[in-house]
Chain A
Amino acid sequence: MQTVDQPSIIRLFRVTRRYGAQKALDDISLEIPANAFVFVTGPSGAGKSTLLKLLYLGLPSSEGQVIVDGMNLARMNRHRVPMLRRRIGIIFQDYKLISTRSVHQNVALVLEAAGTPHRAIAAKVNSVLRTVGMEARRDALPPSLSGGEQQRVAVARALVGEPRILLADEPTGSLDSASAAVVMDLILRFHQRGGTVLVATHDHHLIRSVPARVIHLVGGRLAENPETETAGDPLPAASNP
């Protein structure tokens, strides 16, 4: 599924990230072309989540350069961080939905923050909720939803702003296999429409389910044989929501 000779949308050059004296990422350099589907994998503590956080400036790098969609994050003024994040959709393992806001309001928040006109927000949110199969639950509060439903709302929130890049940190980590298949299907559809996807996971079933490039991290460094390709063997029970 990867397009060849695409310009890089993500570049890391000798990136290190420290937590105190400990290096969570050590001297990482890599390039990810636009429209790529990439898994970042490795054991717990390998630096997968840290790598993703560097890309949306959830954390700054300690050393090196991180360039995302043409923006050099090391030199980025903090006032421009929201602009970066509006170009990136993020999916978290723990969903990170606002529990006091309805499904519709959670998804609409992205567009409200971007200053989208009120009428356009309603239309877009309804459309994306239909896509993820959550239109009927639009007024529900997140705590009343199952884990799979919450993650579908999180996917809807990540996609509604039409980002160029989708970052997913263990997106199926808390889900049963059926819900995981639905979520991966939604992520794949985003990729098929031209989006760049980075999924951090240690779930080998998930990695084998999609034809993708795989980056291996071990102890914060790229593994000796850092990259492989998977052929794509869809997860069971994947069906359109």
Chain B
Amino acid sequence: MHLQMRKALQDMHNNRFLNAVTVVTIALAVMIVGAFSLFVINAGDLLNTWRQGIRLMVYLDEGLSQKGRTELEGRLRQMPEIETLQFISKDEAMHRLRSQMSRHAALLDGLAQNPLPEAYEVEVRQGLERQVEPLAQRIEQIDGVEEIAYGKQWIQRFGGLVELLRIIGYALTGLFSAAAVFFVANTIRLILYSRREEVEIMRLVGASERFIRTPFYIQALLQGAIGGLTGIGILYLAYLFTAGDMAATLGGFGFSFRFLPWTAVAGAVICAMVVGWLGCFTSLRQFIASS
């Protein structure tokens, strides 16, 4: 194997340009697919963070009596999806609105009476975030409930976008993998044809097909590994440069921007090596068939 490895490295050195083109192609493919994965993973995390922090505002009818409110609260407390329940009086609601409006709070001074309804702020139990919609529908049926508000549409749209990007990511993975296989196959094919006579002589002196092919496979696997590591390396550098800004922007949501997990990194490098192997396999099969 030592001899075969030496031969593979020698070939890579002798065909530096072709190998560099192949490595760059694999690196680009890994980088683009990796960037998509990075975005999808983090967007998924962000979505989960939002889902976990999801709160329903249950606005009550204007004329609901104290007894009606007690009954309503009792029914809400019986619902297993609800983690916490907090009553927001009209005054509390106004106080919160003033805090949110800060400098513009003076606009509220001119109101003759408090128009804000009483409400319950409902926090959904962890792990049951996806039950928000049916829960909201059930609460809406209870007497005394005027309206329910939560970021339903926004979360659905964002979730849909993440899902769409995930699918685009799969398509890009397939597309770039095919391109990389094509490049590796052509590199190996060109090297093979330039060494056609040498391969023929090796056969004449008793070299087995395995002996002849192994350096090419080693070369292709090395191309894949180097391309994969280069692509991931560049992506990591880009991550380091942008992570600070992302943290500043999204930190307020309790979300931390993270790099690909090590399993994904290992997977990307292994996939790049498989791509190299496939390219080599394709061109060797054609070469053997034609010689």
Residue ranges of A at the interface with B (Cβ–Cβ < 8 Å): 56, 58, 79, 81-86, 90, 96-98, 100-101, 109-110, 112-114, 118, 157, 161
Contacts and interface: CB of A to CB of B under 8 A. Distances in A.
- Interface size on B, as a range, is 10 to 19
Contact of A161 (B2, B203, B206, B209): B206
Contact of A58 (B198, B204, B205, B209): B204
B3 A85 contact: no
8 contacts: A56-B204, A82-B211, A85-B205, A90-B205, A96-B204, A98-B198, A101-B198, A112-B3
B198 A118 contact: no
B101 interface: no
A101 B207 CA distance: 16
B205 A109 contact: yes
B6 to A, nearest CB: 10
Interface string B181-214: 0000000000000000110011111111101000
Contacts of A109: 201-202, 205, 207
Instruction: Please list the 4 inter-chain residue pairs (A to B) with the smallest Cβ-Cβ separation, ordered nearest first.
Output: A113-B207, A86-B206, A85-B206, A82-B208
A177 B150 CA distance: 101
Given A98-B198, A100-B198, A113 B205 contact: yes
A118 B6 CA distance: 13
A56 B200 CA distance: 13
A101 B201 CA distance: 12
A83 to B, nearest CB: 7
B204 A90 contact: yes
Contacts of B3: 112, 118
Contacts of A56: 204
Contacts of B206: 82-86, 110, 113-114, 161
B176 to A, nearest CB: 34
